[in-house]
Amino acid sequence: MKKLSLGIFLSALLMVGLSSCNPKRIDSKLLLNEVLMVNENNYMNDYGIRSPWIEIFNKSYNVTDMAGCYLRMSNNPGDTVTYTIPKGDVTTKVAQRQQAIFFADGEPNRGTYHLNFTLDPEKTTWLGLFDTRMKLLDQVTIPANTLGADHSYARVDDGKPEWEVKGNSSKKYVSPKANNMIKESNPKMEKFAEQDKSGVGMTVSAVSVVFTALLLLYLSFRFIGKYFSGRDEKKAAAAAQPVATVKAEEKKENKSAAASDEVYAAIAMALYEMQGGMHDVESGVLTLVDQQSAWSAKSGFMRAKPERK
């Protein structure tokens, strides 16, 4: 028993050790998406001033509120500046798959989207995004002297793990509050359009999809309706069976009770007759009485003879 307990303890200890060796995954709705440090001819803030900016991307398909989150910046270890995104501002809610821009102008008194620090392209810059409990959501380190004027350090595509410098070629655009990768064409759609120039294939495909969807919907409602109808009938039959049984038993009891009452009545009548209660005592002598009524007597209609005195 002691060996078994010791083995379980060592196994649990080993699992804890292995799990602690795994790197911590960052799976956040909000991500740092693009950073521009030298703004000469790029995006202007609400005061008409061009300043460095940081773009945050909401990769989820729900509205996410940034209020209470933290943006932190550091050029040297131990030299970290923290900006708290204010609460109570409705504009801090980022729509699904959309971006928000924060201006690193060192002027937080200008509004919610103005940070209390600036960005220096000649220094290695670490940026971190934390949630309201100071849990790390995302981070990025921009090497010194990487970005030139109007160049940004951005993800290859929104939410993708790879980063690159944008703005130094015609195919890599700096895209504040827009997708990092602008897709001008869809190869699959272009290939389909080339193979189906008349549009018959597209029509057949669309009609097939609609017909299949309607058929599946019809079958679903039909089988679901049958299932629930059968279940309701079974419930009704199960509920009616005890009532029918009770009624049959009551009817049987009433019938037997009525039969027993008739038997008792017949027995009582027989006893009463046996004791002579239903017949009069007769002498057996017939008496004929001649009695005429006023209607049948002729003398009643004749005039009486007057008497002499």
Span of 9-13, 24-28, 63-67, 93-97 with lowest mean pLDDT: 9-13
Question: Nearest 5°: CA angle at 221, between 217 and 223?
Answer: 115
Per-residue confidence (pLDDT) for residue 85, from 0 to 100: 97
The pTM score is 0.56
User: Distance between CA 119 and CA 281 in Å, rounded?
Assistant: 140
- For the chain, the straight-line distance linking the first and the last C-alpha, in angstroms and rounded, comes to 158
Residue spans of the domains in the chain: they are 23-182, 185-253
**pLDDT at residue 117 is higher than 50:** yes
User: Distance between CA 231 and CA 213 in Å, rounded?
Assistant: 27
**pLDDT of 23-41, one tens digit each?**
344 468 999 999 999 999 9
The percent of residues in the chain predicted with pLDDT above 90, rounded, is: 47
Placement of tokens 């204010």 in the chain: 86
Q: Which CATH architecture has domain 23-182?
A: Sandwich (2.60)
Six token digits for residue 10: 């060592």
Higher per-residue confidence, 14 vs 304: 304
